[in-house]
């Protein structure tokens, strides 16, 4: 089965919402049976970079964080752990600030590489869902 990728047109927090006034990307995605995108290949990473560049061209959350890890081990939204042998696209000197920056974004000014960042920042996000086709020309949707 193919995957459907949805790029938000709204901004959301990667971590917990502020006073429950703002929904997190995961809260937007779950009712649709989706999750924040898991990036396990250079091809997928390039696809996301191109999609971001051709749409809002702004920093975008992906489904990787170390929020629940006292050892700062990054975990994907599908529950798998990012290991040193897995594909990754960290910007040089990233990840940094492990006690404060626990969520991961694709950062435009870092040539679409990965950066760990404060989870409380509003950003676009990309979700994925099992589907029958991958949208080739319509990348943005409002996820509620």
Residue 41 sits in which domain range? 2-141
- pLDDT tens digits for 24-44? 555 555 556 678 889 999 999
In the predicted model, what is the mean pLDDT of the chain?
76
Q: What is the reported pTM?
A: 0.76
Strand duo 140-141 + 2-8: pairing: parallel
Domains: count for the chain: 1
Which residues, 6 or more positions from 130, have their beta carbon under 8 angstroms from its beta carbon? 1, 2, 3, 4, 33
Strands (E), the chain: 2-8, 12-13, 35-36, 60-65, 75-76, 103-107, 113-117, 122-131, 140-141
Residue 116 scores a pLDDT above 50: yes
CATH number at residue 103: 3.10.100.10
């Amino acid at each position: 089965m193919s995957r459907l990728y949805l790029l938000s047109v709204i901004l959301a927090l990667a971590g917990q919402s502020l006073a429950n006034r703002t929904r997190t990307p995961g809260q937007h995605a779950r009712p649709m049976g989706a999750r924040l995108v898991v990036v396990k290949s250079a091809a997928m990473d390039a696809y996301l970079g191109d999609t971001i560049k051709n749409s809002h061209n702004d920093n975008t959350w992906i489904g990787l964080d170390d929020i629940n890890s006292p050892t700062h081990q990054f975990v994907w939204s599908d529950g798998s752990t990012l290991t040193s042998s897995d594909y990754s696209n960290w910007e040089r000197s990233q990840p940094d600030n492990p006690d404060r920056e626990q969520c991961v974004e694709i950062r435009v000014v870092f040539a679409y590489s990965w950066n760990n960042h404060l989870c409380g920042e509003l950003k676009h996000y990309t979700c994925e869902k099992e589907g029958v086709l991958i949208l080739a020309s319509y990348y943005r949707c409002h996820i509620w």
